[in-house]
Chains A and B, each alone.
Chain A
């Protein structure tokens, strides 16, 4: 079997983040696929909550086109209001881990999914928040998944903060009034895994995917990226992991997902 591409490796690492998680909140896009891989490999009865207001605990045969595709609710165990899942379950602290797509992520884990360039006169207008701002504000352990690999997607500070990370670093998130214990825990991208400094809240490289060099990762972000004293190499994907990721990607393609080449 051909070894995993870096994009596939991102999904494998994303799924591994959900190992041993019993209750998760799944945001739009790649987290939907990563959660399916996690269920098939490690955690079949993992409970997933969604911003549409429902909760379910088993894999569907059909790949949902988004976290709001009600294919996902076919075997839901609870269908309610969006406020039930976003506030009564997530904010109240009953969800262990949330996973969110990061279109553009900065030094302090702030996400921009609203615009490229000036907000009032953008070069490209993107979708906006949806529930992403709520996930970023209210999650206890937030994992950001991003398929981006170029410096234009990792600026020093995003033009527009759609979903709050650690704002300008240090104490700023707490001082702005965000709940204690919330904020991003890690970013997984095709290069590897990044975490946040306990004091400065700056994102730094903790581990790389097989075959990725620290220098290459440094070249993919705009700011001078710090790396852990010892950057570890993440375990390569097993044939089983690669097989399942490819099966899920094939399903995604059939459901008109745009996938990287």
Chain B
């Protein structure tokens, strides 16, 4: 879709009090197609789990997934058979740490086969920055001699190159831009026009999301535009770039959402125990993905006691005490 028509659609949808608000089901159904190149936001924290689960529920197939750091979100997408190609810097479970078992089965036993293209985290971040800014490439961390440089999968020559600096003559490693078609991200708050705000560390979310042609954002809270205007330095994407906003509180669980809830380490630990076997993984999906309709049901299943523990440290929910 040409850039202009994306913006046009996004602007059309702003009208009316509900603006760009859609359910996760509607948003993923409308914007993610089989075969799409999809960026999933979050680096350890603020991972777009609720939207990823919606992708699994809708049985999207043949996706090229772009993600700076795989984590168990990518593990689940792979295990559920949604992924054909993956660009990432690592895939594992940081709790323990423990293996990402679906990823391991995919690479070790080709079950299912997934083509993996690896870069360092800094270089994927630079590639997305180049994509967001429409630059031809970005200088990055040196990789010559490393496995990431030598082993090339589907990106081939359009990954790293070493060029001579036109200024000093020194060798410069450059990385090609990445421009995913759709970005599925989670933020702490957004308004109905799609202005998205994040508090706390960003990882590479700002560049990752802005590199995408179409952006779907889930948010802990939907707030008035006035609140956004009072703290506009926290906005990471201007509303006109966002096509749909989904209200999913706890959308990043089991990863953390700074200021809202802590990471659920027991949940992530239990996940890896179950994902060791295909049957165990399937049982996990049946319980936590196919067994619920949306994030609200998922949250109810987590239960109040569990949630209470996770939000002990939270500070910002419901607009209280947000920095202005």
Which of these, A71, A112, A119, A133, contacts B120 with CB under 8 Å?
Answer: A133
Is chain A's interface secondary structure helix, strand, loop, or mixed overall? loop
A172 and B122 within 8 A (CB):
no
Q: Is B107 an interface residue (CB 8 A)?
A: yes
B44 and A82 within 8 A (CB):
no
Nearest CB to that of A76 among chain B residues?
Answer: B201
Given A119-B147, A258-B96, A258-B97, A65-B265 contact (CB < 8 Å): yes
Which of these, B107, B121, B142, contacts A178 with CB under 8 Å?
Answer: B142
**Which residues in A have their C-beta under 8 angstroms from that of B266?**
256
Which of these, B143, B145, B265, contacts A256 with CB under 8 Å?
Answer: B265
Q: Is B282 an interface residue (CB 8 A)?
A: no
A52 and B203 within 8 A (CB):
yes
Contact with A along B98-134 (1 / 0, CB 8 A): 1110011001100000000011111101100100000
Given A69-B263, A256-B265, A256-B266, A125-B147 contact (CB < 8 Å): no
Chain A interfacial residues counted at CB < 8 A:
63
Given A129-B148, A258-B96, A124-B108 contact (CB < 8 Å): yes
Given A54-B201, A119-B151, A127-B97, A133-B262 contact (CB < 8 Å): no
Q: Is A7 an interface residue (CB 8 A)?
A: no
A130 and B95 within 8 A (CB):
no
Tell me, rounded to whole Å, the shortest Cβ–Cβ distance linking A142 to chain B: 13
B265 and A122 within 8 A (CB):
no
**Which residues in B have their C-beta under 8 angstroms from that of A65?**
94-95, 263, 265
Q: Is B69 an interface residue (CB 8 A)?
A: yes
Which of these, A71, A115, A125, A161, contacts B146 with CB under 8 Å?
Answer: A161
Contact with B along A165-201 (1 / 0, CB 8 A): 0011000110011110000000000000000000000
CB-based closest 4 A-B pairs: A177-B171, A68-B44, A133-B120, A128-B90
20 examples of A-B residue contacts, CB within 8 angstroms = A28-B97, A29-B97, A54-B200, A65-B94, A69-B263, A70-B45, A76-B201, A80-B201, A82-B204, A83-B204, A113-B90, A114-B147, A115-B107, A121-B108, A134-B122, A162-B147, A167-B145, A179-B142, A256-B95, A258-B97
B-contacting residues of A (Cβ < 8 Å)?
Answer: 28-29, 50-54, 65-66, 68-71, 73-74, 76, 79-83, 86-87, 91, 112-115, 119-134, 137-138, 160-164, 167-168, 172-173, 176-179, 255-258
